[in-house]
Amino acid sequence: MPLVRIDLSKKYPESIAQQVGDIVYRVMREQINVPADDKFQIITRHDTSELNIPKSYLGIEYSEGIIFIQATISFGRSIDLKKNLYKGICDALVQDLQLRPQDIFINLLEVDKENWSFGNGEMQYADKD
């Protein structure tokens, strides 16, 4: 049920952008039990001027290689599951793509299950627990 938006610089080739999406999906399946085939992603590559970031925040130094990952998910996951998700995504991107851990920015948005329609104008999760 997640909708994932990934924003990164055009300095990365399209193949890396797709690999980031694949890694995020894999880790979401492993860490927060995302169902098979539930891979809805919007991946956008931007000119450097379109990514407005501070040089640092909370003691973390950013580069032009920053990658923003925002996932809208349904309510119900514990803080520990979310921590494991953040760490899992970051570790996999660092290991698989040699990205800087400082440049992995992740944001989760939680919504009620009735806020999803996967097509046909239906509210598929409204009656599911």
54 in catalytic set: no
Active-site residue, from 2, 13, 35, 54: 2
Tokens 């890694």: give the residue.
23
Whole-angstrom distance, CA of residue 107 vs CA of residue 69: 6
Instruction: List % helix, strand, coil for the chain (3-state, nearest 5).
Output: 35, 25, 35
Helix (H) or strand (E) holding 67: strand 67-74
Active-site positions? 2
